[in-house]
């Protein structure tokens, strides 16, 4: 009797088998592409680079401002009188390699950079790892003031490793060990080599709005400079990414931002600014 039931059951299964299992079967054959995406929306968290790279053949046009210190109030219109500008472009050569060039008002600096992805966060690997190297050319130093200056003296190098993890669809954090070398420095107050550890993160408030925070700890800075602490708000509108920023470090080059933070949050001495990215 038992066997009969089993046989009947099997026969019955012929009719039910096909019904529900088509989809379940498909489910088990599909392989999920498990890379973490959109860890950060902008190429920068605030001023620090994020682990985002442009896609292949994508152009980003960048305009950033850092205004003067807000400390002097209405006299200087909360710093807007002392605006500094960064104008630049970023180009994605491949999905894992991009180059950029920019011109900065502060110290008439030219900055070139290369950014490359080394590893991606997935089910098998916990973090994104991106390398970032910049070369700054200071064209503010005049021959009349420094008669013996050579081209090499104008150069500053930054080597950075950006390590980030998307913890949830809202929270992403990044750690950035940074090594800075300057060809021109004042041995009385600073080293030619400086090491810093920066950290940053974003918290999404809504789908198109996120709050960003970053801090850099410079281990070799002279006492009168501060460590950069910045807060930003990402606003995304289709092809634009707009970042509103408050920071105690006015410079926008990687080296200047980390080594020359002059403002002091405690004294109300900080700078307002924004980054605007347009994608082509």
Partner 1 sequence: MKNLRFIIVVIILMIYNCMFAQKYGTKTGNIKFEATVPSFEEVAGESKTTSAALDATTGDFAALALMKGFRFKVALMEEHFNENYVESDKYPKATFKGKVEGLDVSKLTADAKTYTVTGDLTLHGKTKKISDAAKVSKSGNTITITGAFEVKPGDFAIEIPSVVSKKVADKISVTYSFQLVKP
The footprint of partner 1 (CB under 8 A) covers 3, 6-7, 10-11, 13-14, 17-19, 22-23, 25-27, 29-30, 32-33, 37-38, 54-56, 58, 169, 207-208, 237-239, 279
Where residue 38 falls (left for φ over 0; alpha for ψ -120 to 50; beta otherwise) is left
Collapsing DSSP states into helix, strand and coil, what is residue 202? Answer: strand
Q: Round to whole Å and give the CA distance between 48 and 51.
A: 10
Is-contact 33 46, C-beta < 8 A?
no
Q: Cβ 233 to partner 1, closest distance in Å?
A: 17
**For partner 1, which is the closer residue by CB, 42 or 79?**
42
**For partner 1, which is the closer residue by CB, 23 or 152?**
23
Length of the chain: 280
Q: Round to whole Å and give the CA distance between 103 and 63.
A: 10
Q: Cβ 8 to partner 1, closest distance in Å?
A: 10
Taking alpha carbons only, the member of 218, 149, 232 closest to residue 177 is 218
**For partner 1, which is the closer residue by CB, 86 or 166?**
166
**For partner 1, which is the closer residue by CB, 10 or 118?**
10
Q: Cβ 93 to partner 1, closest distance in Å?
A: 14
Q: Cβ 263 to partner 1, closest distance in Å?
A: 33
**For partner 1, which is the closer residue by CB, 239 or 266?**
239
Q: Cβ 9 to partner 1, closest distance in Å?
A: 10
Q: What are phi and psi of 230, to 5 degrees?
A: -135, 150
**DSSP assignment, residue 264?**
B
């Amino acid at each position: 009797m038992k066997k009969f039931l089993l046989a009947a059951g099997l026969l019955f299964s012929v009719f039910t088998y096909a019904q529900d299992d088509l989809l379940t079967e498909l489910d088990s054959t599909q392989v999920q592409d498990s890379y973490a995406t959109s860890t950060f929306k902008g190429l920068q968290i605030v001023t620090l680079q994020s682990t985002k790279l442009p896609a292949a053949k994508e152009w980003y046009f960048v305009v950033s401002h850092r205004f003067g210190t807000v400390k002097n109030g209405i006299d200087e219109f909360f710093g807007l009188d002392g605006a500094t500008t960064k104008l630049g472009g970023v180009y994605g050569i491949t999905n894992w390699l991009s180059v950029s060039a920019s011109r900065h008002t502060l110290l008439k600096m030219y900055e070139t950079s290369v950014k490359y992805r080394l590893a991606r966060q997935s089910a098998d690997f916990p973090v994104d790892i991106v390398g970032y190297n910049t070369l700054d050319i200071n064209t503010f130093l005049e021959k009349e003031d420094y008669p013996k200056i050579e081209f090499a003296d104008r150069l500053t190098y930054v080597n950075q490793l950006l390590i980030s993890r998307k913890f949830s669809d809202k929270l992403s954090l990044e750690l950035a060990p940074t090594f800075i070398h300057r060809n021109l420095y004042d041995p009385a107050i600073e080293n030619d080599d400086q090491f810093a550890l920066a950290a940053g993160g974003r918290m999404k408030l809504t789908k198109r709005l996120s709050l960003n925070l970053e801090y850099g700890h410079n281990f070799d800075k002279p006492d009168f400079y501060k460590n950069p602490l910045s807060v930003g708000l990402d606003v995304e509108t289709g092809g634009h990414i707009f970042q509103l920023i408050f920071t105690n470090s006015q410079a926008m080059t990687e080296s200047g931002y980390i080594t020359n933070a002059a403002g002091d949050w405690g004294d109300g001495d900080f700078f307002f600014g924004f980054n605007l990215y347009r994608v082509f």
